[in-house]
Amino acid sequence: MTEEMYGKGIVKGLGVTLKRFWDTYWDDAVWLFRRVTKGEKRYHSPEGIAHRSGKDSRGIFTIQYPEEKLPSPEEFRFLPFLVYDEDENGVKTLRCTSCGICAKVCPPQCIWIVRTTDPATGRPVPDPLEFYIDVDMCMNCGLCAEYCPFDSIKMDHAYELASFGRQVLDKAALSKSATYYESVRPLNAARENAARAAKEASRAVLQKTE
């Protein structure tokens, strides 16, 4: 005999709804108490946002967007950006080698790259002359970042980019510092930096033994 035959499923569902209803108003009551006793506010306050984005939040709640925003989790992804490193003299170098792998794997084919060519030899230089992403076509899949062998293209958290026109971002608009990348994806950046350092160390050892 299934639960449905006795209508137990309906009762269970109503129970879940009732719990949700109770949790919603209970949370309101708790925050009223916190406001009176500790002066803590549920809305437009760091403690309120921390509570609503944490594991202890219960029931149904509102985020007063755009005045309030929930912090994005590290793995949240919106649009890709190009990472550059900056040396002590302020010289910025894009990590991108214009290998074209990201453009090849991009499902909607919204990445366009123009390689730099050495005018003297006519040979390609590992540096993009132009780099465009049609962000209106981008489906935010993150495959470009997954496949890039040089940690040059990463998925951004910035999501407020609505506009009335078509948006094709060029190299300048797409470029962001490695420091920015570390600030939005600290665990990923630390893991990749450690892997790069280990690779360089083993290369140095190999060169010594040659």
Judged by CB under 6 A, which of 93, 116, 140, 179 binds ligand SF4? Answer: 140
- DSSP secondary structure string, 75-118? T---SEEEEEEE-TT--EEE------HHHHH-TT--EEEEEEE-
d(CA 89, CA 43): 44
Judged by CB under 6 A, which of 97, 175, 177, 188 binds ligand SF4? Answer: 97
Instruction: Evaluate the omega torsion of the peptide bond into residue 80 and state whether it is cis, within 30 degrees of 0.
Output: no
Q: Smaller CB distance to ligand SF4: residue 133 or 189?
A: 133
Judged by CB under 6 A, which of 152, 154, 174, 178 binds ligand SF4? Answer: 152
Question: What DSSP element (H or E) covers 195?
Answer: helix 186-209
Handedness of CA 112, 118, 122, 124 (dihedral sign): negative
Q: Are 147 and 102 in contact (CB under 8 A)?
A: yes
Judged by CB under 6 A, which of 48, 81, 101, 174 binds ligand SF4? Answer: 101
Judged by CB under 6 A, which of 27, 98, 154, 174 binds ligand SF4? Answer: 98
Q: Are 177 and 90 in contact (CB under 8 A)?
A: no
Q: Smaller CB distance to ligand SF4: residue 31 or 132?
A: 132
Task: Say which amino acid occupies 205.
Answer: V
Does residue 153 belong to the site contacting ligand SF4 (CB under 6 A)? yes
Does residue 112 belong to the site contacting ligand SF4 (CB under 6 A)? no
Q: Smaller CB distance to ligand SF4: residue 43 or 147?
A: 147
Q: Smaller CB distance to ligand SF4: residue 42 or 185?
A: 185
How many residues sit close enough to ligand SF4 to count as binding (CB under 6 A)? 26
Does residue 154 belong to the site contacting ligand SF4 (CB under 6 A)? no
- Among positions 24-63, residues that touch ligand SF4 (CB under 6 A) are none
d(CA 81, CA 78): 10
Judged by CB under 6 A, which of 13, 15, 108, 186 binds ligand SF4? Answer: 108
β 153-155/80-86 pair status: antiparallel
Residues within the interface to ligand SF4 (CB under 6 A) = 80, 96-102, 106-108, 110-111, 113, 133, 138-144, 148, 150, 152-153
